[in-house]
Amino acid sequence: MLSKLCPNLYVESLHCIDLSHLRDIGVLGIVFDIDNTVTMWGSKEVSPTTLKWLEDAKAYGFRVCLLSNNRKARIDDISHMLNIPSAKGFKPFGSAFRSALCVLGTSPRETTIIGDQIFTDILGGNRAGLYTILVQPMSTTEFITTRFLRRLERIVLRKLACRGLLNREDCDLRDPAE
């Protein structure tokens, strides 16, 4: 069971993900979680660096879509704001990931999920056969059940690290001009 909770890659943030690496491993489509991955929980604001990264992903030729367990109205608002389609379904259930694959027109082997939660994004993505990327949450402000699950996530991450299963990449997010 632990292997289903293990991301293929664990990074500090979306900005640490090398788009050329994704292309090199055969990824054509990227599924994004919204809260604490693209935006802070409950916010509609997307940082300029995140907007640039998303635009770079599209310019690089990746097909992109959003997949979130949030309210439909919130998902639709963010989808329209970012000009990125959204898929329907409840993670970690397979139907949500099949919906995303349908939106993207990609196979599981050609698709990655980028999200901040092990028990929704990573578990569901692994079960669906996607390349899974775990990012650290952007904020500690979260839904109450998510805060509870974060405690379990920390235990899982420690176990994965102790067993040498956690492929963690660090990156320098400082502005090079500084």
Q: Exposed, middle or buried, 178 (CB in 10 Å: 0-12/13-18/19+)?
A: exposed
Burial zone of 150 (CB within 10 Å; 0-12 exposed, 13-18 middle, 19+ buried): middle
The pLDDT of residue 157 is 86
The pLDDT, as a whole number, for residue 82 is 95
Return the pLDDT at 43: 84
Q: Show the domains of the chain with their CATH numbers.
A: 2-166 (3.40.50.1000)
Residue 159: strand, helix, or coil: helix
pLDDT tens string, the chain, 178 residues long: the values are 788 999 999 999 999 999 999 999 999 999 999 999 999 888 888 999 999 999 999 999 999 999 999 999 999 999 999 999 999 999 999 999 999 999 999 999 999 999 999 999 999 999 999 999 999 998 776 677 777 788 888 888 888 888 888 878 777 654 444 3
Task: Give the span between the Cα atoms of 172 and 15, in whole angstroms.
Answer: 10
Looking up tokens 């690290």 gives: 161
CA distance linking residue 38 with residue 13, whole number of Å: 9
What was the pLDDT predicted at 173?
52
- pTM of the entire predicted model: 0.90
Q: Which residue has the tokens 């699950």?
A: 149
